């Protein structure tokens, strides 16, 4: 999941673009007892607090949750669909990343969680705030 490192001393370059920011992609083990791709995508959008965080540490670290985005998947016969709804998000300057970066990180997490050779293709629908349609350029439409 795309994870904020605010409250830690950490920085990472999770998009491999040379820009170090206080976010990373966290490999969080989650027991998924249901369907593919619905449950892995649902797990990506669950609240997360860094374990053993000291008092005063941010109460939420999942960037999808922090910005108020919603992400869900639907199973299909010919293709599956993931809807990444960023249409009502709020990205504060304190977060240290832009909305585009959060969306890019989400795309990378989707790729890491869902891309498997030989599986049914997964269509990705990106929803953005009105007037910000240019954010979708460069994001995957299929995984």
Mean pLDDT within 127-131: 94
Cα(30)–Cα(123) distance, integer angstroms: 23
Give percent of the chain with pLDDT exceeding 90.
46
Residue spans of the domains in the chain: they are 2-136
Could you give the residue ranges of the DSSP H alpha helices within the chain? 38-44, 63-67, 99-114
| Residue 106 in tokens | 């989400």
**Residue 104 contacts residue 84 (beta carbons within 8 Å):** no
Question: Residue 85: what pLDDT?
Answer: 98
Question: Residue 99: what pLDDT?
Answer: 94
**Residue 32 contacts residue 114 (beta carbons within 8 Å):** no
Q: Is the pTM of this model over 0.85?
A: yes
Could you give the residue ranges of the DSSP H alpha helices within 45-90? 63-67
Mean pLDDT within 93-102: 90
Alpha-carbon separation of residue 123 from 75, 82, 135, 143 (angstroms): 11, 6, 17, 7
| Residue 96 in tokens | 């240290």
Contact residues for 70 (Cβ-Cβ < 8 A; gap 6+): 45, 83, 85
Dump pLDDT digits (tens) for 27-76.
776 666 677 888 889 999 999 888 777 777 888 899 999 999 999 999 98
Q: Could you count the other beta carbons within 10 Å of the beta carbon of residue 50?
A: 17
Alpha-carbon separation of residue 3 from 26, 35, 47, 84 (angstroms): 6, 24, 10, 16
Dump pLDDT digits (tens) for 75-96.
988 999 999 999 999 988 888 8
Q: What is the dihedral of CA 69, 74, 78, 84, to 10 degrees?
A: 0
Question: Residue 37: what pLDDT?
Answer: 84
Round the average pLDDT of the chain to a whole number and report it.
89
Question: Residue 31: what pLDDT?
Answer: 62
């Amino acid at each position: 999941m795309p994870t904020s490192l605010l409250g830690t001393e950490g920085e990472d370059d999770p998009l491999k673009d040379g820009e170090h920011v206080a976010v990373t992609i966290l490999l969080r083990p989650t027991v998924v007892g249901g369907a593919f791709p619905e449950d892995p995508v649902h797990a990506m959008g669950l609240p997360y607090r860094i374990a053993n965080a000291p008092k005063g540490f941010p109460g939420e670290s999942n960037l999808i949750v922090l910005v108020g985005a919603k992400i869900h998947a639907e199973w299909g016969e010919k293709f599956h669909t993931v809807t990444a709804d960023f249409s009502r998000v709020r990205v504060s300057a304190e977060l240290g990343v832009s909305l585009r970066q959060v969306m890019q990180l989400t795309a990378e997490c989707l790729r890491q969680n869902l891309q498997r050779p030989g599986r049914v293709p997964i269509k990705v629908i990106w929803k953005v705030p009105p007037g910000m349609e240019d954010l979708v350029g460069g994001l995957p439409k299929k995984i």
